[in-house]
Every structure is written in C-alpha cells, then in structure tokens.
A and B are shown apart, each in its own frame.
Chain A
Amino acid sequence: MGAIAAATVAILLVAAPASLAATPSPTPSPSNQQFQNNISGFLRDDARAPIQGVKITAKNGDFTGTATSSANGAWNIGVPSQGTYEVQLDESTLPQGIKLAAGQANPRSITFSQTSNVSVIFAFGKGIVVQQQDFGQNLLNRLVAGVSFGLLLALASVGLSLIFGTTGLTNFAHGEMVTLGAVLVFVFNAMNLPFWLAILLALLGGGLFGYAQDAGLWRPLRRRGTGLVPMMIVSIGLALAIRYVIQFYFGGATQQLPFAQSAEIQIGPVSISPNNLWSLVISAIVIGLIGIVLLKTRLGKATRAVADNPALAAASGIDVDSVIRLVWIVGGVLASLGGILWAYYRPGVTFDMGSQILLLIFAGVTLGGLGTVFGALIGSVIVGIFVELTTVFGLAADLKYVGALFIMIVVLLFRPQGILGRRERVG
C-alpha cells in the first residue's frame, strides 16, 4: 500500500516540471495570440474627414506593434500587456497638405489605466491647439461629466437596488447585464439595422435577459428556499460564465458604437461632448420616470410593498412573483440602457465593461443604503461626481475609481446603513 502510494507520488512529481512549463500563467488565461489590450484612435483632419493609410507604431521594451489607419481613419494596435507605450505616428505617411497640429507630441508616451483600451488622439491642421483649461473651468466640466456618469451608474444601480429590495439578492451578475446592452447594440448595428432599432432591440434584449434570469434561475432557487448567501455565490458563477460567453463570441477587442467620437461643444460655461449631454438627459428622464412610477402608480406601490415586506404584500393580495418578474425585466432594461450610455462615456464596448463598473454600482447602492431605490440614485450620483472630481484635485487618472471605493468604506464606518437606509432591529 505504502509502496504504491510512494510510487504514485514519484510519478506525479516527475510529471510536475513539464506541467509547470505548460501552464506558465498563474490564472488560466487565453494565449497571447490575440491581444486583449488595445491602443487605438481615429485620424481625422480639421474638417473631420478621415485620414487613411497612416502608419502608427507602439513600442514597449522589445515589443513593437504597427497599424495603418483604415478608410474611416480608425487604427488599432493590440498589445500584450497593459503598461506604458511609446506611440509614434509616421508623419511621412500622412497625405499631402496634412500636418500634425502645433503642440502635438509625436512620438508620445501613453499609459493604460484601468481599461484594456487606450485611445490616442492626434490632432491635425492649423486651427486646433490643445488648450490648457484653468482650474475652475476644469472643475465645472468634470462636475457635469460626473453627474452624467453618476446618472448612468444610477440606471444600473436602481435596477440592482430594486432586485435587492424585492428578493434580497446581491446580484454580482448585474455588471454582465450592463455589458449585454452595449454588446447587443454593437451586434445589431453590425447587422446593418438602423441605429434607433439597434438600441431598441438591445433594450428589449436586456429586458428579456432579466426575465430569463429570473424565470430560469432565481425563481426556481427561491422556490427551493436557497439562502441569500448561496444565491450571491451563484450570481458570481453566473457573472463569470456570462462574461466569458460574451468574450467567446465578441472577442477581447474594444469596439466602437456608431457616433462614438464627437467633439466637445460649449454650452454656456461648460464644455461637454454631445454624447455625454445626451446621456445625462436620457438617464435623468428615465430615472425621473422610474421615480414617478414608483411613487405614484399602483404598480410602484406594489413594488415598494414587496420590497418592504414580501409576506405582508402577498397577504394583501399582491402577486409577489409577478412583481419580482417585472422588477427583473425593468432591471434588465435599465442595466442595458446604462451599458449603452457607458459604452459612449468610456468610449468603447468590451466584454468586461460591465464588471469594470460593477463595484462602482455597488458603491453607489451601498452609499445610498442597500435596498433603497432613491438612496441608490443619490449614492450613484455621488460616486460619479467623486470619480470625476478626484482627477481635478490631483489624483492620478488611473486611481480615480480608488477614491470612490475608498469613500464607500469610509461611509460604512460612520453611517453603515447608508445615506437613506434604516437601522435594523435585533431579536
């Protein structure tokens, strides 16, 4: 017996070094043949016409990647790891009469922050000069951008909060619902559907996904009486599975939705990109509508009743299951919308874009108070503003999420129930 065991161990140990060589990466990860990190941009002249056939190289140590801008001016260099790269535009390949604008560094050094995609903007022509904004101006711009970001976060977190309130589930797969919205728009758009239809279908898809999740997974689990902690862990597995199913089909690259690039416009003292402005307006309207529905309609009252006390709601003749189903559908639509807006805000669509803001969504929800819908709204806007403003006050851009997560932990120290939450009774 002992001899057999010893022999087995010996065999296993013999095999070991080979296996170590076979799996050098610490976590299972796809091979490097198609890089997951991208440096990209659009080349457009001062009349916003695309510039084609320009050669751009990115260098870091002994890695060099090259790309040539396509017919629409887009270029993309896949790189093996996130880090600092020297990006150079080969000026000899520029069409005649087009020159880099004054003050445009070339080559320049760029660095990845949290995203797997960095965009580099080369400005052309005489008219464009990169301006140094003064502090107050910058503050105001970031504030508006922060509100816009916060409201798009709020779209996702209101859904998360509604789901938490009605079912008690802390859904870690909510980030994937966000991703799905943006990915669907990209897919439908790639199928040459009109832009408005693509968006409509994506929202529909998000709602369907919410419905399917509830009907196929969460409702059966509730029926089985599965506890909240196991459900939370199930949602983590689901998040992991969906994220990589999306990657499986969508790939690791960053894609752009139509009209993703837009020059900033000036409204009064604030300069904002039209996309951000749209995002702000759309999310404000949608959240306003949700608020009205929750406060004024029978349906909204039913939802709040279920969130408050499901058993009592059921006893009062409310069909709890259908309310929860509806909450999942609405949560799915809101998350999709949030995802589409997030794709414009970053800009770019990636398979992990949702999981990147999942923690910010959680931060918003926790700040506002778990399970309170209006708390989630306020919390998210605070997180959004905080994320944008920290860069104004000197925090490095690649640390801007840290500030928001940090403030969440600090708030928990002093007001654990969140801004609008209630304390619980023991016993």
Chain B
Amino acid sequence: MSKHSEESMEAGVDYMTDARAIAVGENTPGCKKRDPIVVAENVTRTFGGINAVDVEYLEIPRHKITALIGPNGAGKTTLFNLLTGFDTPNSGKWQFEGQSIAGVSSYKVARMGMVRTFQLTKVMGKLTVMENMRLGGSDQPGERLSKALFKGMWGSREKEITDQANVLLEKFKLDTKKDDYAASLSGGQRKLLEMARSLMVRPKLVMLDEPMAGVNPALTQSLLDHIKNLKAEGMTVLFVEHDMNMVRHIADWVVVMAEGKIVAEGPPGEVMKNPAVIDAYLGAHHDVDLGDSEGIKALEQELVADEESIVGTENAGIIAVDVVAPDMQETIRTDKDKA
C-alpha cells in the first residue's frame, strides 16, 4: 500500500533532474536511503576460509544509477550473484521492493523485476538476435510444455513480444542485425544485445556487471546514453565497473567495496576523494587521478614495478583492463571461459 502512495507521490518527478538527497543523513558506509529498492543485511559468503563478501548493511536507492566499484577480488560480482540468487550466502537476508528474496531462486528473482547481466557477456551465439530478444519476453504461454504444441495458444503473445523486441532493437541500433546469429556480433554489440534482452523482462532494477568491459570506444558513448535512458524510463540501475570515467559521468551514487566489505558510499565526486577509497584501490599509490585513462596507464606502469601489487600476476590488468591492454583482456576472458 505504501508503495503505491509513494509512487503516486513521485508521479510528477523527472528522474533525470531529481536532485533530492539520496541518503538519509550522513553519507556513511551502510547509510539509510530515502527510498531504497534493495536492502541487504549481514550478507556473507566465504570461499575456502576467505570472506569474499561480508556486507553488514546496504541499501540501493530507487530510480538512481548506483555504481559498485572496488579493486579486483573485492567481492562485487559475488555480491551480484548473491543478491540475484545465483549463489548461496553463508548468512544474511535481503529484500527487493520490501519483499524478502533470501534463498529465492535466481529465475524467480528475475521474474520479480531484478534482472542482471554478466561480466562475461552471455548471448546465445547460435540463436539469431531476434530469438535472443524473444527469449527475454515474459508471460509467453508457449513456453509451457502443455501449450507449446499449439501455435494458436501462443501466436498472439509472440507477436506482442516481437513488437516489443523490434522497438528495443531499434533503440539499441541492432535492428539491421535482427536475423543474424548473435555469434556474428562484435563484443560491444553483444553487450548491447544482452542489455536490450534484459529489458525484455521489463525489469524494475537492472544490474549490469561490467557493462563497459570489452566495448569498443566508439560504442562507449551510446552505451552510456542507454544506461542513462534506463533511469529516465523509471528503472533503477546498479552496475559494477572499473572505468572511473563512466562512474563519474553517469552514477548518482557510488558504493565502494574492498575485501568483501563496503568501505565507502556517496556521490561520485565525494567518494573519489575519500581516503578510504583511494587506499582500498591503490594502497600506496594515491597520487594518480583515476578519472582519466592516461592516469590509469601511468598507474599501471607503477604497479608493474611494485612487487606487492597484483598487477603482473594472476589478476593483472583487471583495473580498467580495456584501457590498458585490450589484447590481454581477450586472453583473460577466454581462459575464464575455459575454466
């Protein structure tokens, strides 16, 4: 009931220009939000004795774009997996739109309107772009075995889904490709397709895991615009990203994780000056501006020389890998695929 009244209260609000404060009170780690869509409490997950995720309290603000950042291994993707039911935590509870979804299976979470994408883009290469999109369509009776045999029972819904897909494909400039196999798309186009496909579910919260990774710089701007548009259309966005440029440009709110914990929260400008963040990200290397790609390259060189740094080891180049070494990223991804 309260949800309804809230929505009607906000009916006149333009989400793009809404400048009301996001947090209630101080911008401290785990602070309460004016209007949270996701609330997580005491979510922990250990891998072989290491705390991959140990989040005491986190709220994600509704109708905002929230960036989840942190060094590699900070537990961002694991937190994504936990929230969306793709992994089971050791403890904790969390709710989406006021409804507890702890222990709810991933597909039910998606049906409730919390849809995610993956760090390694998951498009169905052997299906056409259009079929990929249709796969996202909801309430298709033809997806039930009992009705699949009879086209009469699902044909009309299929038309609606196709229309919806056409609109989205046009928006994402994939309409000319709709009959091609998705395998023929470039990395960036796949990211777009994956995002468009997730919108077929008509989500309330879109969770993007590294939407910019592997995307050709020419597509970067249109991807950023698409994400902003999601907010304009009333959706909430939570994304994991290493690219500080992107975070600075589009995020309304930034949550910083390190070693599984939330170490800082706040608007992007404020967070990037936070010493805890700089520490978590860089250790001793604070004198570099993360906000531009030249800075990252400089940092990279510095880190390679540093023995204690992860750069040059297993996790080499994960910080803004697409800026530093696009080739290497390809190999890392294929290896992960194999694993």
Direct contact of A and B (CB under 8 A): yes
Is the Cβ of B339 less than 8 Å from the Cβ of A309?
A: yes
Q: What's the minimum C-beta distance from B335 to chain A, rounded to whole angstroms?
A: 4
Is the Cβ of B80 less than 8 Å from the Cβ of A312?
A: no
The reply to whether the CB of B87 lies closer than 8 angstroms to some CB of chain A is: yes
Q: What's the minimum C-beta distance from B77 to chain A, rounded to whole angstroms?
A: 6
The reply to whether the CB of B152 lies closer than 8 angstroms to some CB of chain A is: no
Q: What's the minimum C-beta distance from A425 to chain B, rounded to whole angstroms?
A: 7
Is the Cβ of A427 less than 8 Å from the Cβ of B80?
A: yes
The reply to whether the CB of A41 lies closer than 8 angstroms to some CB of chain B is: no
Within 8 A of A (CB), among B302-339: 314, 331-332, 335, 338-339
Is the Cβ of B78 less than 8 Å from the Cβ of A425?
A: yes
Is the Cβ of A168 less than 8 Å from the Cβ of B119?
A: no
Is the Cβ of A427 less than 8 Å from the Cβ of B119?
A: yes
Measured CA separation A315–B312 after assembly (Å): 10
Is the Cβ of B86 less than 8 Å from the Cβ of A311?
A: no
Known contacts A168-B338, A422-B48; A312/B314 CB under 8 A: yes
Is the Cβ of A311 less than 8 Å from the Cβ of B48?
A: no
The reply to whether the CB of A426 lies closer than 8 angstroms to some CB of chain B is: yes
Known contacts A309-B314, A309-B339, A312-B314; A426/B331 CB under 8 A: no
Is the Cβ of B86 less than 8 Å from the Cβ of A310?
A: no
Residue of chain B at shortest CB distance from A308: B339
Point out the residues of chain B lying under 8 angstroms from A422, CB to CB: 48
Partner of B77, one of A168, A311, A312, A427: A427
Point out the residues of chain B lying under 8 angstroms from A427, CB to CB: 77, 80-81, 86, 118-120, 209
**Chain A interface extent, by class:** 10 to 19
Q: What's the minimum C-beta distance from B141 to chain A, rounded to whole angstroms?
A: 29
Point out the residues of chain B lying under 8 angstroms from A168, CB to CB: 338
Measured CA separation A309–B331 after assembly (Å): 13
Q: What's the minimum C-beta distance from A4 to chain B, rounded to whole angstroms?
A: 34
Interface mask (A400-427 → B, CB under 8 Å = 1, otherwise 0) = 0000000000000000000000100111
Point out the residues of chain A lying under 8 angstroms from B335, CB to CB: 309-311
Q: What's the minimum C-beta distance from B99 to chain A, rounded to whole angstroms?
A: 23
Point out the residues of chain B lying under 8 angstroms from A426, CB to CB: 81, 86-87
Interface mask (A371-414 → B, CB under 8 Å = 1, otherwise 0) = 00000000000000000000000000000000000000000000
Residue among B87, B118, B120 having the largest count of chain A Cβ atoms under 10 Å: B87
Q: What's the minimum C-beta distance from A160 to chain B, rounded to whole angstroms?
A: 19
Residue of chain B at shortest CB distance from A227: B338
Residue of chain A at shortest CB distance from B86: A426
Partner of A425, one of B81, B314, B332, B338: B81
Residue of chain B at shortest CB distance from A228: B338
Q: What's the minimum C-beta distance from B24 to chain A, rounded to whole angstroms?
A: 32
Within 8 A of B (CB), among A120-156: none
Is the Cβ of B331 less than 8 Å from the Cβ of A311?
A: yes
Residue of chain A at shortest CB distance from B78: A425
Dominant secondary structure of chain B at its interface with chain A: mixed
Point out the residues of chain A lying under 8 angstroms from B332, CB to CB: 311
Measured CA separation A311–B332 after assembly (Å): 8
Interface mask (B118-149 → A, CB under 8 Å = 1, otherwise 0) = 11100000000000000000000000000000
Point out the residues of chain B lying under 8 angstroms from A311, CB to CB: 331-332, 335, 338
Q: What's the minimum C-beta distance from B216 to chain A, rounded to whole angstroms?
A: 23
Q: What's the minimum C-beta distance from A186 to chain B, rounded to whole angstroms?
A: 40
Q: What's the minimum C-beta distance from B314 to chain A, rounded to whole angstroms?
A: 5
Residue of chain A at shortest CB distance from B87: A426
Q: What's the minimum C-beta distance from B282 to chain A, rounded to whole angstroms?
A: 23
Within 8 A of A (CB), among B84-139: 86-87, 118-120
Measured CA separation A311–B338 after assembly (Å): 10
Measured CA separation A273–B329 after assembly (Å): 59
Measured CA separation A310–B337 after assembly (Å): 12
Measured CA separation A350–B224 after assembly (Å): 67
Known contacts A309-B314, A311-B331, A312-B314; A425/B48 CB under 8 A: no
Q: What's the minimum C-beta distance from B43 to chain A, rounded to whole angstroms?
A: 16
Q: What's the minimum C-beta distance from A364 to chain B, rounded to whole angstroms?
A: 24
Interface mask (A282-311 → B, CB under 8 Å = 1, otherwise 0) = 000000000000000000000000000111
Q: What's the minimum C-beta distance from A190 to chain B, rounded to whole angstroms?
A: 45
Within 8 A of B (CB), among A72-107: none
Measured CA separation A168–B337 after assembly (Å): 12
Residue of chain B at shortest CB distance from A168: B338
Point out the residues of chain B lying under 8 angstroms from A309, CB to CB: 314, 335, 339
Q: What's the minimum C-beta distance from B271 to chain A, rounded to whole angstroms?
A: 25
Q: What's the minimum C-beta distance from B124 to chain A, rounded to whole angstroms?
A: 16
Within 8 A of B (CB), among A315-361: 315
Measured CA separation A427–B335 after assembly (Å): 14
Point out the residues of chain A lying under 8 angstroms from B87, CB to CB: 425-426
Point out the residues of chain B lying under 8 angstroms from A315, CB to CB: 314
Q: What's the minimum C-beta distance from A85 to chain B, rounded to whole angstroms?
A: 50
Point out the residues of chain A lying under 8 angstroms from B120, CB to CB: 427
Point out the residues of chain B lying under 8 angstroms from A425, CB to CB: 47, 78, 81, 87
Known: A426-B86, A426-B87. 13 other contacts (CB 8 A): A309-B314, A309-B339, A311-B335, A311-B338, A422-B48, A425-B78, A425-B81, A425-B87, A427-B77, A427-B81, A427-B86, A427-B119, A427-B209
For the complex of A and B, list the 10 residue pairs with the smallest distance between their C-beta atoms, beginning with the closest: A311-B335, A426-B86, A312-B314, A427-B118, A427-B81, A426-B81, A427-B77, A426-B87, A427-B119, A427-B86
- 23 pairs, CB–CB < 8 Å, chain A vs chain B: A309-B314, A309-B335, A309-B339, A310-B335, A311-B331, A311-B332, A311-B335, A312-B314, A315-B314, A422-B48, A425-B47, A425-B81, A425-B87, A426-B81, A426-B86, A427-B77, A427-B80, A427-B81, A427-B86, A427-B118, A427-B119, A427-B120, A427-B209
